[in-house]
Amino acid sequence: MTETAPRPTLEAVAERAGVSRATVSRVVNGSHGVREALAERVRRAVEELGYVPNQAARSLVTRRHRAVAVVAAEPETRVFADPYFAQQLRGISKELTAHDNQLVLLLTEGREDHARVGRYLAGGHVDGALVFSLHLDDPLPGLVRSAGVPTVFGGRPDWDDGRGGVVYVDSDNRGGARSAVHHLAGLGRTRIAHITGPLDQTSAADRLAGFRDVRAGADPGLIAQGDFTPGGGERAMRELLDRCPGLDAVFAANDLTAAGALRVLRERGRRVPQDVAVVGFDDMLPVAEQTDPPLTTVRQDIEGMGRLMARLLLRGLDGTAADDETEIPSATAPGVVLPTTLVHRATA
C-alpha cells in the first residue's frame, strides 16, 4: 500500500504564518475581526502548505455542512432521460458551486424512498433542501417540514395548511398557455386541441387552466391527458385524431409531448403547420430545435429557475447569495413567478 504524506494541520499553518491557531481558524472559517495583513499571511500559508480544512471540525464551528439536498420527486429513469431536469440541475449546481456548497441528489420512486429521504434530511447531513416536481398528495412537504430543514420548492405548491411562508420558484404557466392558444387562434385555427401534462402537478393544471381561459367553450373531446413524455404525447395525439379528426391545432403541455404529437401527425399524413399547427411549452433547445419542423413553443428559463431556487435558499441560510435583490421576493410574497415568452418557429 502506498504511504501518503500527513495532511498539513491548523497548527502548521499558524506556525508558517506566525500567528495563533485561533487566528488561522477565524480566517479559514470566514469569520471577521482579523486584520487584513494577518489574514493575507494566513491565506498565503494555507496555499503554500496545501492546507484543506477538515469539514467535520469546520461544521462544529460554523454549524454549516456546506451541503444542500436536491430532492426530485421522480424516478431516476425520468430524471436522467428528461432534459428539463438536466437544465434545472445545471442551474442549481452552478449557484451552489459558486458559493462553495455541495449538491446531494435524492430521488424518490416509492414509499420506501420517501422514508429514506425523510430520515436523511432529519439526520442533519445538509443545511437545506431544494424540492421539485411534486405530485398531488406527495408526502415530501410533510417530511421536509418534520425534518426542520430550510426549503425552497420548485413549482407552485398545491397545499395550504394555514402556516404560510412556503418559498417557491415557478414560471407563469397559466399566462404562457394563454399566449400559446391566443397565437393559434390568431392564425385562424378554430379546432384547437390540448394535450395536458400529468394533472396531479400544478404546472400541468395551470397550463390546462390557461388553455380554458382562451377556449372556455371548447369541446371536451379536444382535451387529452399526457404525462410530459414523448410516449404520452403520441398516445394522446392518436386519441385526439380518432375523436376529432378535423382538429387544426394542438397546444402540447411541454416540448417532449409536442415531439410525440408531431410523430403521430406525420404518421397520419397531417402536414405541419399547413393542416395542424403545433405549439409546445419549455423551449428546451435539444428538443425544440430538432423536431421536424422546428417547434414553436413557450419559453421558460429552466436553468434560471434552478439558480434562483438555490439563491433563495442560500440567502436564507447565511445571506451570501443575496447579490441580486431584484429577484428576491419580499417576506410577504414568498413565491417568485418568472415570465414566459412565445418563441416562433415553423410548427405554428
Task: Dump pLDDT digits (tens) for 241-273.
Answer: 999 999 999 999 999 999 999 999 999 999 999
Q: How many Å apart are CA 234 and CA 270, to the nearest integer?
A: 14
Check residue 139 and give its pLDDT.
86
Eight-class DSSP state of 327: G
- Residue-wise pLDDT for 171-180, tens only, equals 999 999 999 9
Give pLDDT, residue 247.
Answer: 97
pLDDT at residue 330, as a whole number: 46
Q: What are the cell numbers at 305? A: 429557475
Averaged pLDDT, 163-171: 82
Q: What is the model's pTM?
A: 0.80
The predicted model gives 188-211 an average pLDDT of: 97
Which pLDDT score is estimated for 299? Answer: 98
- 229-232: which pairs have CB atoms within 8 A and are 24 or more residues apart? 229/78, 229/82, 229/256, 229/257, 229/260, 230/256, 230/257, 230/259, 230/260, 230/263, 231/260, 232/195, 232/257, 232/260
Measured CA to CA, the distance from residue 90 to residue 304 in angstroms comes to 9
Confidence of residue 151 (pLDDT cuts 50, 70, 90): very high
Identify the band that residue 322 occupies on the pLDDT scale cut at 50, 70 and 90.
Answer: very low
Phi and psi dihedrals of 123, rounded to 5? -80, 0
Whether residue 193 has pLDDT greater than 50: yes
d(CA 116, CA 121): 9
User: What integer pLDDT is reported at residue 141 of this predicted model?
Assistant: 86
Q: Find which of 70-79, 133-142, 201-210 is predicted with most confidence, using mean pLDDT.
A: 201-210
Nearest to 203, CA basis, from 140, 247, 145, 153: 153
CA distance 226 to 233: 6
pLDDT digits (tens, 9 = 90+) for 21-44: 888 877 876 667 788 888 888 888
pLDDT of residue 321: 46
Please list, in sequence order, all residues whose beta carbon lies within 8 angstroms of the beta carbon of residue 33, skipping any fewer than 6 positions away: 26
Q: How far apart are CA 259 and CA 234, in angstroms?
A: 8
